[in-house]
Amino acid sequence: MRYFGGCDAGSTYTKCVIIDENSKIVAHVTNRSRINPVLSAEAALKEAVAQVEELHSAADLTYLVGTGYGRNKVPFADENISEISCHAMGVHMANPDVHAIIDIGGQDVKGIAIDTDGTVLNFAMNDKCAAGTGRFFESMANAFEMSLEEFSRLSLKAKNVIPITAQCTVFAESEVVSLVGEGKPMEEIAAGIQLSVAKRCFVMAKKAGATDRITLTGGCAKNEGLKQAIEKVLKIKVVDLPVDPQLMGALGAAEYSKRKVHV
Amino acid sequence: MRDLSQLYYFEKLLEEANNDLVREGVARGLHPVGSVCSLIPEPLLNLPGCFSVRLRAPRTGSIDIGTYYMSSLLCECCRAILERAVEGGYQFLDCIIAPDACSQMNRCVENIEHLNCIEKEGFFVSYCDAPMKSDDTALRHYVRQMKAHVLNPLQEKLGVDISEENLRKAVEQHNQICRILQEISEYRKEENPRITGYEFAVLCTATYCCPKELLMEKLISVAEELKTRQPDGKPAFRVKVVVAGSEIDDPGLIGLMEETGARVVADRFCFGALPERIPIALNDAEDVLTQICRHYLKMGKCPRYMNAEKVLERQDYVHQLVQEYHADGVIYQQMKFCDYWGYERAYASKNMREKYSVPTLSIDRPYVTGSSGQLRTRFQAFVESLEIKKLQRKG
């Protein structure tokens, strides 16, 4: 059996997926990224390879594609492909009926429209600013002295939403601290943060031309409060994926690996 | 592909505004004239006795001082140029000629003037109006403005001879540069071009920033070298693109695009060759200034020309470049906060996709792009989507 790898060296998490010749996921890993993407990718690949009996090292993979911001630093990679293309392909493999993606990564937000073959039809992406990204959520959860999961659950309890006006991560944190100081309900502030990010996602989705059958990918896709806020602003039901949405980039990279060999 | 032997020489010229050739020109007694916009015809600033230097701010770091004077909502290019002026980077200039074309650049130059950034004795700034249409009335106005606010000040304050004969000489020198660049640009139409977009951008940008007569010899030698240059057997690119939009004075941005697998084959932006490096045809029946101005009005592709014919002509032109240079797509890029290109990019990139069916990437960007990860990802994703479609078409 031949195996194909995809390694998504993201800014906050490094993900690795190995698939077999039938595109079945046989191994997957999600690790917190270190400052050096080479070390992060190396560790993730090692763990993933250890899950497949027939493999001894990443060099045994028939083909390996690197993706994510550290895509050109993945050891043993035969090629690197942008995370935009990989997320599109990953989602297409997980659910071919999905037409568009909102990907909320550690340092960027992307809207991606997918063609019927899993390739990218159009995309939009934020630039340098970290507003509305995973880093933004981490910073907000830290301000609340909570984990991301606790923060998400808290926001779901809100009966009202307190709007957050600042989009900048630094200023938003100051605003949140001020609101907490004023004694505003924490869950309503949390819901306001979710709404502000959802609006950012709305912009990216619209810019990319996404209209229906939209799914979420990236680590923030697991944030139920955000998902509900996005459904509210986009007035659609977000499509759930049968595979961990955080793995979509790595899965797409692995699928591209397979196709590179089979083409 | 073997490196161009003169590439490093040209790259060095772009490292600062006051480069080796500018210093040599000044040492020879020529007057350096600062230019900030392609709406001022270059030959007028390159009459015998003076030469134009299109202002750039290479190796820009912080632009905080520029931002203080101009606010954070204005074009970063203008802010970076002001910052460089405050830092003393343009002390060598004898004057700056600025059109009232882009109000942001105008404000930049006004600040340079009012803050006395350039302390050279006799330094002056001249402002002139540039038309927003390209009809006969606009031409008459343009000619008057160029005479009153470009040629006359050069004559009165710098002693430049602005005779018809000298204007013809300046046009001929300009045309010579244009012809060499055109000859080089033709190689970009090849299936596997023998010159990269980055290399071309380095050569072309240098022609805006140095005394032309001093640059000529090296440029000719590059053209000679290219005649026999062999491209790599296997193309080192995946797709070909046309780049259109606001000014790119840093070839590094073209390099960034090419690192992701694109080959930039045509450049429709300020500091580019199309159409700025198309020779000016002169006849003997009409005065030279009018002919120069007509050429600039007719060929000009700046989005400041707002009449509908010009707007559509610009889109047709980009589409024509796509076909002529066998490109797979277009990258429309715009400097952040550039008003003119803000409108143009939105309209043109939509039409490029829908009316002309040309895949188009539309982005805004900062002045300093460096090794921007986000830009790299966008370029790469665009290249990948073009490549996949190309492979699918081939079946």
Q: How many CB atoms lie within 10 A of CB A218?
A: 28
Length of chain B: 395
The pLDDT score that the predictor gives to residue A138 is 86
What is the arithmetic mean of pLDDT over B234-248? 95
For residues B16 and B19, give the distance between their C-alpha atoms in angstroms, rounded to a whole number.
6
Structure-token pair, residue A184: 């505003």
> What is the Cα Rg of chain A in Å?
19
The pLDDT score that the predictor gives to residue A128 is 63
In this model, does residue A166 exceed pLDDT 80? no
Using the beta-carbon criterion (under 8 Å), do B377 and A83 form an inter-chain contact?
A: yes
Please provide the average confidence, as pLDDT, over all residues in chain B. 95
For A1-95+242-263, give the CATH class.
Answer: alpha beta
Which residue on chain B is closest to A11 by alpha carbon?
A: B373
Chain B nearest C-alpha distance from A222 (Å): 24
Instruction: Mark out chain B residues that contact chain A at CB-CB < 8 A.
Output: 260, 364-366, 372-375, 377-378, 380-381, 384-385, 388-389, 392
> What DSSP assignment string belongs to A125-193?
E--S--TTSHHHHHHHHHHTTS-HHHHHHHHHT-SS-------SHHHHHHHHHHHHHTT--HHHHHHHH
Alpha helices (runs of H) in chain B, residue ranges in sequence order: 7-13, 20-27, 64-70, 76-87, 103-114, 136-146, 152-158, 164-186, 197-209, 212-227, 251-259, 288-299, 308-324, 339-354, 373-394
β-strand A13-19 against A4-9: which pairing, if any? antiparallel
Edge-to-edge strand order for the sheet containing B31-35?
B50-54, B31-35, B95-99, B124-128
What is the arithmetic mean of pLDDT over B179-195? 97
Using the beta-carbon criterion (under 8 Å), do B381 and A108 form an inter-chain contact?
A: no
The partner residue sitting opposite B381, judged by closest CB among A82, A126, A128, is A82
Mutate to test the interface with A, among B259, B354, B374 (most CBs of A within 10 A): B374
Using the beta-carbon criterion (under 8 Å), do B381 and A84 form an inter-chain contact?
A: yes
β-strand A214-217 against A100-104: which pairing, if any? parallel
β-strand B239-245 against A63-67: which pairing, if any? unpaired
The pLDDT score that the predictor gives to residue A19 is 97
* CA proximity to A120, closest of A170, A83, A163: A83
What is the arithmetic mean of pLDDT over A12-31? 96
CATH 1.10.1740.10 assigned to domain A97-240? The reply is: no
What is the arithmetic mean of pLDDT over B290-310? 94
Please provide the average confidence, as pLDDT, over all residues in chain A. 92
Mutate to test the interface with B, among A67, A82, A103, A203 (most CBs of B within 10 A): A82
In this model, does residue A168 exceed pLDDT 90? no
For residues A255 and B60, give the distance between their C-alpha atoms in angstroms, rounded to a whole number.
41
- Residue A114: C-alpha distances to residues A100, A101, B87 (Å): 5, 8, 48
Using the beta-carbon criterion (under 8 Å), do A120 and B380 form an inter-chain contact?
A: no
The pLDDT score that the predictor gives to residue A263 is 55
A120 at the B interface (CB within 8 A)? yes
β-strand A109-114 against A120-125: which pairing, if any? antiparallel
In this model, does residue B51 exceed pLDDT 70? yes
A81 at the B interface (CB within 8 A)? yes
Beta-carbon pairs below 8 A across chains A and B = 43
For residue A69, the chain B residues in CB contact (below 8 A) are 373, 377
Cα B288 → chain centroid: 23
In this model, does residue B45 exceed pLDDT 80? yes
Lookup result for tokens 């927003």: B132
A143: confidence class by pLDDT, cuts 50, 70, 90: confident
Contact yes or no for A83/A71 (Cβ under 8 A): yes
Chain B nearest C-alpha distance from A85 (Å): 6
Contact yes or no for A121/A148 (Cβ under 8 A): no
Length of chain A: 263
The pLDDT score that the predictor gives to residue B371 is 65
For residue B365, the chain A residues in CB contact (below 8 A) are 127
A178: confidence class by pLDDT, cuts 50, 70, 90: confident
Cα B80 → chain centroid: 16
What is the arithmetic mean of pLDDT over B128-149? 95
What is the arithmetic mean of pLDDT over A94-110? 93
The pLDDT score that the predictor gives to residue B337 is 92
Predicted complex ipTM: 0.78
Contact yes or no for B342/B362 (Cβ under 8 A): no
Interface of A with B in 127-146 (CB under 8 A): 127-128
Residues of chain A with CATH 3.30.420.40: 1-95+242-263, 97-240
- Residue B301: C-alpha distances to residues A32, A164, B82, B202, B264 (Å): 49, 43, 25, 21, 19
Structure-token pair, residue A78: 């035969």
For residues A96 and B24, give the distance between their C-alpha atoms in angstroms, rounded to a whole number.
64
Lookup result for tokens 């290109």: B341
Using the beta-carbon criterion (under 8 Å), do B374 and A81 form an inter-chain contact?
A: no
For residues B47 and A234, give the distance between their C-alpha atoms in angstroms, rounded to a whole number.
60
A123: confidence class by pLDDT, cuts 50, 70, 90: very high
Edge-to-edge strand order for the sheet containing B329-335?
B262-269, B239-245, B329-335, B360-365
Using the beta-carbon criterion (under 8 Å), do A125 and B372 form an inter-chain contact?
A: no
A116 at the B interface (CB within 8 A)? no
The pLDDT score that the predictor gives to residue A200 is 86
* CA proximity to B366, closest of A163, A256, A129: A129
- Top mean-pLDDT range of A157-171, B55-69, B175-189: B175-189
Cα B270 → chain centroid: 3
For residue B372, the chain A residues in CB contact (below 8 A) are 128
Alpha helices (runs of H) in A71-123, residue ranges in sequence order: 83-94
Which residue on chain B is closest to A126 by alpha carbon?
A: B374
In degrees, rounded to 5, the angle at the alpha carbon of residue B53 between the alpha carbons of residues B52 and B55 is 140
- Residue A2's SS3 state is coil
For residue B384, the chain A residues in CB contact (below 8 A) are 81-82, 84-85, 120
B265: confidence class by pLDDT, cuts 50, 70, 90: very high
Cα B134 → chain centroid: 20
The partner residue sitting opposite B384, judged by closest CB among A81, A108, A126, is A81
Using the beta-carbon criterion (under 8 Å), do A125 and B392 form an inter-chain contact?
A: no
In this model, does residue B273 exceed pLDDT 60? yes
In this model, does residue A131 exceed pLDDT 90? no
> Whole-angstrom distance between the N-terminal and C-terminal Cα of chain B?
30
For residues A187 and B49, give the distance between their C-alpha atoms in angstroms, rounded to a whole number.
72
For residue A119, the chain B residues in CB contact (below 8 A) are 385, 388-389
Chain B nearest C-alpha distance from A83 (Å): 8
A175: confidence class by pLDDT, cuts 50, 70, 90: confident
What is the arithmetic mean of pLDDT over B149-178? 98
In this model, does residue A50 exceed pLDDT 60? yes
Lookup result for tokens 């809100």: A158
For residues B103 and B338, give the distance between their C-alpha atoms in angstroms, rounded to a whole number.
10
